[in-house]
Amino acid sequence: MPGQPDLDSLRSPDLRAEYAYAHIMKDRLTVLRYIARKIVGWFLMIAIATNLTYFLANAFLKPASNYTALRPPRTPAQINRSLALYNLNPNKPITDRWWHWISQIVTHFDWGQSPTGGSVNDQVAYRIFVSGQLVLGSTILSIVIGVGLGVYTASRQYKASDRVLQGFSVLSFNTPSAVASLGVVFAAIALNQALGSTLLPVAGAQSPDVSGFWSVFGSRATHAILPTISLTFISYAGYHLLQRSLLLDHINSDYVRTARAKGLTRKQAIYRHGLRTSIIPVATQVAFAMPALFTGAVITETVFAWHGMGEYFTKTISTNDVHGVVAVAAFGALMTAIGAILADLAVVALDPRIRVS
Amino acid sequence: MIEQRAVTTPLDTQQPLLSVRDLRVAFPSEAGRVEAVRGVSFDLHRGKTLGIVGESGSGKSVTSMAVMGLLPDYAAITGEITLGGRNLLDLDDRQMSKVRGRQIGMIFQDPLSSLTPIFTIGDQIAEALQIHQDISAAAAAKRAVELLDLVGIPNPDRRAKGFPHEFSGGMRQRAVIAMSIANDPDLIIADEPTTALDVTVQAQILDVLKTAQRETGAAVIMITHDLGVVAGSADDVMVMYAGKPVEHAGVDELFARPRMPYTIGLMGAIPRLDDRARDALTPVPGTPPLLVDLPDACPFAARCPVVQDACRETEPPLLAVTGSDGDGHSAACRRAAEIEDGAIGGEPIYPVPALRENRVAAVPREDRPKVLELSGVTKTFPLTKGGLLKRKVGTVFAVNGIDLDIREGETLGLVGESGCGKTTTLLEIMGLKPPEQGSIAVCGQDTADLKRKQDISSVRRNMQMVFQDPMGALDPRMTVFDILAEPLRAVGERNSKVLAGKVAELMELVGLDPEHRDRFPAAFSGGQRQRIGIARALATRPQLLVLDEPVSALDVSVQAGVINLLNELKAELGLSYLFVAHDLSVVSHISDRVAVMYLGRIVEVGTTDAVFDNPRHPYTKALLSAIPLPDPVAERTRERVLLKGDLPNPTDDRPGCRFVTRCPLHLTLSEPQKERCRGVTPQLTEREERDHQDACHFADTPVSVDH
């Protein structure tokens, strides 16, 4: 193979270093190729998962139930005719329905309709935006607060501040989402009543009566405050406890001591040498938590009356919305893939050794 | 001459660079307040080297960490550490960080873990520069390359871009030295800088350290347990015991006229290459005291053979020894003045234990049966590449056709640098399976013939193993009785009376009190644990013991006792040993024959006297000359054969000598001779002496750097 070094020449450490050096020069290309390979793999995974969900959903969900309670009652033939409009007719062979469904996605990126005719694409597009608004803010806050507290408490291990903050985090870690959300709501209501005006709105993603870019933006921002607080409250502690224990493994390591011996203060040595090595597993964790956050904020969305992906997830199941369920599953798989690729990129960015080997 | 000195020397040579006064360090612990350092005082002048010697727990590392200001917050530190007119103990972490790296550089013990894995070597050195100097990143990177060049790293500009995991241990230690001298410090503290390294690399690193000291003119504190390292590098030596200096003198004075029984004990306990005529080592009995609630008495009293009642009444201070001709010799011993040449009134303080006569040795070697025979044993590992579909891209020849034999009642020492295939050889022998190539025979039984389970276990009874780490090799949840009874039960002994009797017998045999049979391993000291490990190996009455670095984890004073025990057991039970060690002094003391391994092949084998007195292979010569001798005069005068570089990877099986890349002899040869080295594999050949073979084409050619 051309370019393959003769192994005998690798016997000397010098030549090995030379080889490694050449590798670093090629690393950008290597990373790109690596990511491309990952994307192809994940794409296949998403396709398989989505198709499997399609067959499972068709086997278990009965879209006809949406019509059985209607008055005047419809005959099964009428119901099937209605369902046939949305490619949900149970009398049509599943393979034919699947072929129609998949060709619509491939040719028009049309994910189908709900049993009552609503477009899945419209719902998902709108809800991703709502969920993103809810999740991104709280995720970033959780990471910043969690990692920050982890570093702060790790460098003050067993001191009063460490014990107090850790106790608080254990408490918040174990608080059910509903309790946290309702607690935040009650506190906000009390605050609003004390102030005599609605400083912090407790329901909805925006006020219905605003218009104009800046007013909508402001309304959305104020509406997002409370759900973000409650989501952050329940999710930051995981990062805090993880970062604390990882950093503690590194704080007393020989190389942090070497860094101090070079002339760094304890704090600088921890930040420059201990933190970067210990944050790699946290980055992986964050990336993989993303999909769960998007569809997992069901309770928070319910309490604050936000119509996000979490709510859609439960709603599509309860309404026997086959196409909606499949779209949610596909979305979850896509987020997992993005999370995994982000995790890989984060590790490559943080740990230069990966690029060499 | 005195006048001249006063004129030419700068003022600060009279004023010590570093002055430590009554340094005390204590740590809280569950057992109570541990007084790790209990009053250390010394002065260190510019350009001088102070060696601090002591066993583990003597407080030598804690002293150095206190100077660096790297002790944890909960350590209680009192006293005075004055560097350049400032008391370092008054400074907080921020102020101290200006001193660390700038005025004091430090080198740590374990180079494998002391560099940050995710930054390049060059960046880490550049960081050390940029912390203290206002220079651009490009200038710092350039200077880092120069520093790497200074400490002898080849192709420094390329290597600076490498990560620590691409460097060997010796290379990493060079990088750490480069880092420590980056800002031209006044003081370099080296805490066991070579303990984790091979002996040939140790010699290189000590050399680099001397270069670094010469370049910077710094004072050095050399902390070590190895008296040989101290003898070769220190001007002054301070011996520490139980957190206190017990003797302090110039290096020549200390080695020539030690005054403190502990120092004398340490010197008697180390096996020496230059004094192999000694029959037995003199171990120091007992173990160091726990540093919690120490009574006001000499801490060494419990282990001292010349202790008097008055020693237990009050702790002796470190006082100048009267009647000594060297100036500045002080010792913390009431009887220091009486001690002369390791003896009081002509009686040696440590009587040399009588060595038992080895009955088996009376029979000529040829007439004794072979207990182990290896012929042409080869073990390879495939070298693969790729993630999912592994392609074989090469073969590592870990052991490449070695021949060995051990006869009844003799000890074969197997020596070589790490990575040379010693451990693989042991594993091949202990596995009792036919090797890839060649054959292994244990007590006359070829392993290829061992098919049935009973056959294998009967051979296994005859061959037992003692491991390096005495703690890791013993199950912490089993009592000593259970540990020793287990192999007996495994060979079918069920009667509890017989078991109890045999266990007691075994414990007595290795010098343990049978009363302690119900204790757990944690209750024993390192040396005692290794004795338990030996007793366990002896339980099945084997003929051959395979010892893998059995004393390298032990302190010097304890190590001597274990070596003596092994020698006694050999004489008493007619055992044979396969003794694997990297410490050639230990091997020279215990072995009858020695085999030197290099890259999977044996390059020299013969009787210990022949190999050590008349080494023929250039590699053996280099190995022997790399060992530091605990004798400052000899250390200064002898010439070293310094090997360049590290052990290459054994990935090819082409003909030719494997030592060619590092061989000092090879460089002096003519071109056709060199061609022969590269093209023809040298075979083990017997020359003038009987039972002394070497694998070098030109072993008779004298080398200019020979010592």
The torsion angles phi and psi of B244, rounded to 5 degrees, stand at: -135, 145
- Residue B322 has what pLDDT? 67
- Residue A40 has what pLDDT? 92
Whether A76 maps to a domain, the answer reads no
- Residue A101 has what pLDDT? 93
For B393, the closest chain A residue by CA position comes to A7
Region B110-115: mean pLDDT is 88
Whether A152 maps to a domain, the answer reads yes
CA separation for the pair B461, B276 (Å, rounded): 33
CA separation for the pair A307, A90 (Å, rounded): 30
Asked if A13 lies within 8 A of B176 by C-beta distance, the reply is no
Query: What is the band of B326 on the pLDDT scale with cuts at 50, 70, 90?
Result: low
CA separation for the pair B99, B84 (Å, rounded): 10
Which chain A residues have a beta carbon less than 8 Å from that of B646?
13
Asked if A277 lies within 8 A of B105 by C-beta distance, the reply is no
- Residue A19 sits at the chain B interface (C-beta within 8 Å): no
Q: Which of residues 242-271 of A touch B (CB under 8 A)?
A: 253-255, 257-268
Whether A146 maps to a domain, the answer reads yes
- Residue B656 sits at the chain A interface (C-beta within 8 Å): no
Taking only the tens place, the pLDDT of each residue in A31-50 is 778 788 889 999 999 999 99
Asked if A352 lies within 8 A of B118 by C-beta distance, the reply is yes
For B166, the closest chain A residue by CA position comes to A17
Q: Do the Cβ atoms of B622 and B700 come closer than 8 Å?
A: no
- Residue B15 has what pLDDT? 84
- Residue B102 sits at the chain A interface (C-beta within 8 Å): yes
Domain that holds residue A207: 120-356
Asked if A17 lies within 8 A of B166 by C-beta distance, the reply is yes
Q: Which of residues 469-508 of B touch A (CB under 8 A)?
A: none
Asked if B166 lies within 8 A of A356 by C-beta distance, the reply is yes
Q: What ipTM was predicted for this assembly?
A: 0.80
CA separation for the pair B149, B175 (Å, rounded): 10
CA separation for the pair B484, B678 (Å, rounded): 52
CA separation for the pair B575, B579 (Å, rounded): 12
Asked if A262 lies within 8 A of B127 by C-beta distance, the reply is yes
Chain A nearest CA to B128, separation (Å): 5
Q: Do the Cβ atoms of B83 and B44 come closer than 8 Å?
A: no
Q: What is chain B's alpha carbon radius of gyration, rounded to the nearest angstrom? A: 27
Highest mean pLDDT among A166-170, B269-273, B295-299, B464-468: A166-170
CB-based burial, B423-442: b 16+ in 10 Å, e otherwise = bbbbebbbebebbeebebbb
Residue B323 has pLDDT above 80, yes or no: no
Residue B328 has pLDDT above 60, yes or no: yes
Asked if A273 lies within 8 A of B116 by C-beta distance, the reply is yes
Q: How far is CA B212 from the centre of its chain?
A: 23
Taking only the tens place, the pLDDT of each residue in B570-623 is 888 889 999 998 888 889 888 999 999 998 899 999 999 899 988 999 999 998
Q: Which of the residues A260, A262, A272 would you substitute to probe the B interface, choosing the one with the greatest number of B C-beta atoms within 10 Å? A: A262
Q: What contacts A75, CB < 8 A, 6 or more positions away?
A: none
| CB atoms inside a 10 Å sphere around CB A183 | 14
Which chain B residues have a beta carbon less than 8 Å from that of A24?
161
Asked if B161 lies within 8 A of A21 by C-beta distance, the reply is yes
Asked if A11 lies within 8 A of B652 by C-beta distance, the reply is yes
Q: How far is CA A23 from the centre of its chain?
A: 33
CA separation for the pair B625, B498 (Å, rounded): 51
- Residue B127 sits at the chain A interface (C-beta within 8 Å): yes
Partners of B224 in the β-ladder: B53
Partners of B407 in the β-ladder: B370
Taking only the tens place, the pLDDT of each residue in A51-75 is 999 999 999 988 888 888 777 888 8
- Residue B78 has what pLDDT? 94
Residue B356 has pLDDT above 70, yes or no: no
Chain B nearest CA to A356, separation (Å): 9
Q: Which of B114, B165, B649 sits opposite A258 (nearest CB)?
A: B114
Query: What is the band of B201 on the pLDDT scale with cuts at 50, 70, 90?
Result: confident
Asked if A13 lies within 8 A of B120 by C-beta distance, the reply is no
| Beta strands B463-466 and B576-580, pairing class | unpaired
- Residue B180 sits at the chain A interface (C-beta within 8 Å): yes
Which chain B residues have a beta carbon less than 8 Å from that of A253?
113
The model's pTM is: 0.80
| CB atoms inside a 10 Å sphere around CB A65 | 12
- Residue A350 sits at the chain B interface (C-beta within 8 Å): yes
H or E element: which one contains B331? strand B330-331
Spatial CA neighbour of B358 closest among B546, B115, B664, B573 = B573
- Residue A273 sits at the chain B interface (C-beta within 8 Å): yes
For chain B, first and last CA: distance in Å?
A: 35
- Residue B137 has what pLDDT? 92
Q: Rounded to whole angstroms, what are the CA distances from B678 to A211, B292, B695?
A: 86, 61, 13
Taking only the tens place, the pLDDT of each residue in B379-394 is 888 877 655 556 677 7
Q: Do the Cβ atoms of A54 and A326 come closer than 8 Å?
A: yes
Region B409-431: mean pLDDT is 88
Q: Which residue has the higher pLDDT, B411 or B112?
A: B411
CA separation for the pair A77, A79 (Å, rounded): 5
- Residue B155 sits at the chain A interface (C-beta within 8 Å): yes
3-state secondary structure of B602: strand
List the CATH number of the domain containing A286. 1.10.3720.10
Sign, CA dihedral A113-A118-A119-A124, equals negative
Residue B702 has pLDDT above 70, yes or no: no
Domain ranges of chain B: 2-234, 240-348, 366-477+512-600, 613-694
Task: Tell me if B2-234 shares its fold with B366-477+512-600.
Answer: yes
Measured torsion, CA atoms of residues B219, B223, B226, B229, in degrees rounded to the nearest 10: -20
Asked if A254 lies within 8 A of B183 by C-beta distance, the reply is no
Measured torsion, CA atoms of residues B356, B362, B366, B372, in degrees rounded to the nearest 10: -20
- Residue A296 has what pLDDT? 67
CA separation for the pair B369, B372 (Å, rounded): 9
Chain A nearest CA to B392, separation (Å): 12
Whether A102 maps to a domain, the answer reads no
- Residue B68 sits at the chain A interface (C-beta within 8 Å): yes
- Residue A8 sits at the chain B interface (C-beta within 8 Å): yes
Per-residue tens of pLDDT for chain A, all 357 residues: 333 333 333 444 444 445 545 554 455 667 778 788 889 999 999 999 999 999 999 999 888 888 887 778 888 888 888 888 888 888 889 999 999 999 999 999 999 888 888 899 999 998 988 888 888 888 889 999 999 999 999 988 888 999 999 999 999 999 988 899 999 999 999 999 998 887 888 888 777 777 788 888 888 888 888 999 998 998 899 999 999 999 998 888 899 999 999 999 988 999 889 888 888 888 888 877 877 777 668 888 888 888 888 889 889 999 999 999 999 999 989 988 988 888 888 888 888 776 655
- Residue B144 has what pLDDT? 94
Q: Give me chain B's average pLDDT, please.
A: 86
Which chain B residues have a beta carbon less than 8 Å from that of A7?
383, 393-394, 651-652
Chain A nearest CA to B93, separation (Å): 6
Spatial CA neighbour of B552 closest among B226, B233, B274 = B226
The torsion angles phi and psi of A129, rounded to 5 degrees, stand at: -60, -45
- Residue B111 has what pLDDT? 85
Asked if A262 lies within 8 A of B383 by C-beta distance, the reply is no
May I ask the CATH architecture of the domain B2-234? 3-Layer(aba) Sandwich (3.40)
Give the homologous superfamily in CATH for domain B366-477+512-600: P-loop containing nucleotide triphosphate hydrolases (3.40.50.300)
Chain A nearest CA to B40, separation (Å): 22
Out of B95-104, B276-285, B332-341, pick the least confident: B276-285
Residue B514 has pLDDT above 70, yes or no: yes
Angle at A289 between CA A285 and CA A295, to 5 degrees: 175
- Residue B660 sits at the chain A interface (C-beta within 8 Å): no
Chain B nearest CA to A333, separation (Å): 24
Class of residue B503 by CB neighbours under 10 A (exposed 0-12, middle 13-18, buried 19+):
buried
H or E element: which one contains B117? none
CA separation for the pair B628, B231 (Å, rounded): 8
Angle at B391 between CA B389 and CA B396, to 5 degrees: 140
- Tell me how many domains chain A contains: 1
The torsion angles phi and psi of A256, rounded to 5 degrees, stand at: -70, -35
Q: Do the Cβ atoms of A135 and A342 come closer than 8 Å?
A: no
Interhelix angle A120-154/A160-173, nearest 10 degrees: 160
Q: Do the Cβ atoms of A138 and A306 come closer than 8 Å?
A: no
Which chain B residues have a beta carbon less than 8 Å from that of A354?
none
Asked if A262 lies within 8 A of B128 by C-beta distance, the reply is yes
- Give the position of tokens 């203060």: A265
Which chain A residues have a beta carbon less than 8 Å from that of B114?
254-255, 257-258
Q: Which amino acid belongs to residue A14?
A: D
Q: Which of B101, B646, B648 sits opposite A263 (nearest CB)?
A: B101
Region B354-377: mean pLDDT is 81
Query: How does DSSP classify residue B307?
Result: -
- Residue A9 has what pLDDT? 38
Class of residue B702 by CB neighbours under 10 A (exposed 0-12, middle 13-18, buried 19+):
exposed
Which chain B residues have a beta carbon less than 8 Å from that of A13?
166-168, 171, 645-646
Question: Could you tell me what percent of chain B has a pLDDT over 70?
Answer: 93
Chain A nearest CA to B680, separation (Å): 17
Q: Which of B98, B100, B118 sits opposite A260 (nearest CB)?
A: B100
